[in-house]
Amino acid sequence: MKNFEFPHRRRNPLSGEWVLVSPHRNNRPWKGAVEHHSDPDLPSFKQDCPLCPKVERANGEANPDYANTFVFNNDFAALLPDSEEITSAEDDLMQAESAQGCARVVCFSPRHDKTLPELTLHELTQVVSTWKSQYQELSQDYACVQIFENKGEMMGCSQPHPHGQIWAHHHLSTEVEREDVHQAGYYLQHGRPLLADYIERELDQQSRIVEQNENWLAVVPFWAAWPFEILLVARAEVADFTQLNQVQERDLAAILKNITTRYDNLFRCRFPYSMGWHNAPATGQDNRHWRLHAHFYPPLLRSATIKKHMVGYEMLAESQRDLSAEKAAELLRQVSLTHYKEKHDE
């Protein structure tokens, strides 16, 4: 498929939503807001950081002197296992239902100053193994396990110590339920998983690929809404984290390091994003239509200080982008895989 340089729409087959693409607008002069940018020189340990080793948290508990990843129940959890039972399904206008679950924090390492691309491959593999073990445990009790990271103040991250979160609950989240429906519909029609066919299409066209290895593929998806959005997909028949073997875990760590390094090097900053994993629902259903994947949604548009705002048309009509997915992938491929801080240290 050729790269259109005129306004057109692209459909996201996972969600059914459309995005308006206007590549001719990308060269317009910028007179909008410019975000504050700083690349702080953080210490490796901070005495008052509630995520650092041996520091006391808000609930009065002290973190252990951990050396690798560390997981604890969020002291300000958005979900509780014993929430009151409610239902108002009979009300067509004001429906509500109980939301029970748990929320955990995953400290990627004891270092207060090291984000994912700055960790060693061994340390990143430990992060992946932690995601897997947490999913294995929580999926025994909860249908939906959301593993995610908000990186940077721009994405609302309240603690600079690099960390992610895990929210698990009985209900299927809106995004997972929507993807489940669309993948199941595609499988019923074609007899193959949607993302398996999409991987083949991307490997054939090559223009949107950012990174790949034997077990994983990272692309700026054809339907991307955010400027440098990335879809990271398992190439094998893997529906959730429980099915990953050790080689797939190591390859995942390797491609995560490359993706996040490219992000940081693009504008030479701690590139902000929201990233999260979509596992098949843990409901006991047939999940042959599923493929484990992650979404990266970064807000930056032209520099470390200019972000994409989802406002106006995007809020009232549908997503819109100026930079084409193909151009975004090209820009990410062009940057170095040596982190800019390593170059600076040399």
Q: Which residues does the annotation mark as catalytic?
A: 163
Asked if 273 contacts 151 with a C-beta cutoff of 8 angstroms, the reply is: yes
Indicate the burial class of 86 (C-beta count within 10 angstroms; 0-12, 13-18, 19 or more). Answer: exposed
Report the candidate in 275, 326, 328 with the shortest Cα–Cα distance to residue 297.
275
SS (H, E, C) 309-334: CCCCHHHHCCEEECCCHHHHHHHHHH
Question: Which residues have CB under 8 Å from 205's CB, separation 6+?
Answer: 1
Rg (CA), the chain: 20
HSE of 160, CA atoms in CB hemisphere, 13 A: 16
